[in-house]
Amino acid sequence: MKKIREMQAVGDLIPGAPFEEPERQLLFMDKCRELIEEKAKAAGRPLTAAVINFGCQMNARDAEKLRGILKQIGYEIIEEETADFVLYNTCTVRDNANQKVYGRLGYQKTFKKQNPEMIVALCGCMMQEPEVIEKIKKSYRFVDIIFGTHNVYRLAELLYAHLTSKSMIIDVWKDTDSSVETLPVDRKYTFKSGVNIMYGCNNFCSYCIVPYVRGRERSRTPEEILSECRKLADEGIVEVMLLGQNVNSYGKNLENPISFAQLLREVEKIDGIKRIRFMTSHPKDLSDELIQVMKESKKICRHLHLPLQSGSSRILKIMNRRYDKEKYLALAEKIKREIPDIALTTDIIVGFPGETEEDFEETLDVVRKVRYSSAFTFIYSKRTGTPAAAMEDQIPEEVSKERFGRLLALVQEIAAEECVHLTGQVQQVLVETTSNHEGMVSGRLSNNMVVHFPGAEDQIGNFVNVRLDEAKGFYYIGTQVES
């Protein structure tokens, strides 16, 4: 039977290997590369790797780092789950995210029977939960490598440990105060990129597992962030998305504190960067300074994602969101008054423990008043270890589902009405992909809405002016016009 090795017990795999990063990982990448080259020679073809990603923008960014490392090691990156190395970067924010991963692992077992040399690895938020690790050790013994959210940069070292021992390698850290951002990255797009400005979360909303699996809030220094943005601009990136679970509290705990708004002002000064986006903005910390900076900026996109979660002040209090309905509405109104062309989007949870019909009506009321241009709506999912999981009065599934249906219908109706406002206008679009329809390309407006219009692949990454001919509810069909 396959041995299990917890990384702490593996010791120094290569005597004399440097302890500093990134030097240490660069050495392990070279060592892995030699082993993978040998295997490729024996197989008579290049070896392939796939990183299957679940979850939020943070995970998407981590996936780019993981692919970067695998590419450096000599793998050809593909998307199919039949690759020689398959890595699942997991999410655990709601139970259905976990179920998807277990479903995929079920298939992996068969693939691995067909290709015994195949390596299956798991990382990301789900792996930070001890009961998940226990389940995998017990029921998914074919998994080769497991690591968490705090040590993604160690992939090469863990792979080396597996290749040289054939054991199941487990390396999950409870928390960390460091991060390594200087390893190779395989970016999905050549023209836009996410940039982590902070990690973790300190808010402990009572339903949410993120603070437990991503650790405490840590901001990167502005120097590091700006130098990364400048490097991206030099490489041709025109749009950056600044990432954090609560970007509005960025910089507060740094040795030299700086506000998120001040950071935005600095990013704005970088020549090559033409568009700046950010995610996610917690309403409790959104400052007037931020609204001012957005208003004056030529580069910050006309889009603000402002998660509501619930419209009921009573529920918001139990959720530990630290704002109430009135405060949220006043904030949304102020933002719209100051920046009239802004599109507001949100996240809403229905069926939080104890939610009554009246509470739910309050949520609908906020949706009617704020008029979001889109909203992510979720049925509350009980997460082990969070305060809400232990609350009485969990809402029956049929009640949540019925409310969810009503909420979704309202959100879609309002989004479609909001979408119509821009019809006929000419707007600048950053072309992102070819569309599913022959001869069409797709891009985004500053307000994050998607537009499809006749165009060619060589326009990807360019800004073009597009007339929005037809509103289709949550996207537009347009025509390019001369600039």
Q: Of these partners, ligand SAH, ligand F3S, ligand SF4, none, which one is at the site of residue 310 (CB under 5 to 8 Å by kind)?
A: none
Of these, 10, 57, 102, 211, which contacts ligand SF4 (CB under 6 A)?
A: 211
Distance between CA 211 and CA 216 in Å, rounded? 6
Longest dimension (CA), the chain: 67
Judged by CB under 6 A, does residue 308 bind ligand F3S?
no
Label residue 371 left, alpha or beta by phi (over 0 means left) and psi (-120 to 50 means alpha): left
Stretch that binds ligand SF4, among 108-116, 177-185, 200-208, 458-466 (CB under 6 A): 200-208
Binding site partner of 31, from ligand F3S, ligand SF4, ligand SAH, none, Cβ cut-off 5-8 A by kind: none
Q: For 205-236, give the DSSP string.
A: -TT--HHHHH-S-EEPPHHHHHHHHHHHHHTT
Cα 374 from chain centroid?
18
* Site residue total, ligand SF4 (CB under 6 A): 10
Closest CB to ligand SF4 among 184 and 387? 387
CA-CA distance, 343 to 122, in Å (whole number)? 37
CB of 38 to ligand SF4, least distance (A): 43
- Does 307 bind ligand SAH (CB under 6 A)? Our answer is yes
Q: Which is nearer to ligand F3S, 250 or 476 (CB)?
A: 250
Helix axes 57-73, 23-43, angle to 10 degrees: 60
* 381 scored as a contact of ligand SAH (CB under 6 A): yes
Q: 155: which 2 tokens? A: 């992939």
Q: Does 93 participate in binding ligand SAH (rule CB under 6 A)?
A: yes
Cα separation, 363 vs 377, in Å, equals: 11
How far apart, in Å, are the Cα atoms of 385 and each of 136, 204, 276, 344, 389?
19, 11, 36, 32, 7
Tell me the window of 9-17, 201-209, 263-271, 422-430 that interacts with ligand SF4 (CB under 6 A).
201-209
In the complex, the smallest distance separating the C-beta of residue 202 from ligand SF4, rounded to whole angstroms, is 8
Distance CA 240, CA 235 (A): 12
**Binds ligand F3S (CB under 6 A): choice among 112, 150, 154, 214:** 214
Window contacting ligand SAH (CB under 6 A); options: 102-110, 203-211, 310-318, 413-421 = 203-211
Minimum separation from the CB atom of position 284 to ligand SF4 (A): 9
- Which string of b and e fits 332-361 if b means at least 16 CB within 10 Å? beebbeebeebbbbbebbbbbbbbeeebbe
Residue from 143, 163, 172, 210 touching ligand F3S (CB under 6 A): that is 210
**Contact call for residues 446 and 428 (beta carbons, < 8 A):** yes
Using the minimum distance from each CB to ligand SAH, give the nearer residue, 160 or 278.
278
Q: Among candidates 144, 151, 191, which has minimal Cα distance to 69?
A: 151
Q: Residue 55 or residue 68: which is nearer to ligand SF4 going by CB? A: 55
| C-alpha to C-alpha distance for 467 and 134, rounded to whole angstroms | 55
**In 3-state terms, what secondary structure has residue 80?**
coil
Work out how close the CB of 125 gets to ligand F3S at its nearest, in angstroms, rounded to a whole number: 3
- Nearest CB to ligand SF4, comparing residues 249 and 400: 249
Closest CA to 132 of 119, 148, 144: 148
Among 53, 246, 310, 345, the residue binding ligand SF4 under the rule CB under 6 A is 246
Q: In the window 308-347, what residues touch ligand SAH (CB under 6 A)? A: 309, 347
Binding footprint of ligand F3S on the chain (CB under 6 A): 55-56, 58-59, 91-93, 125, 210, 213-214
Binding residues for ligand SF4, rule: CB under 6 A, are 201, 203-205, 208, 210-211, 245-246, 282
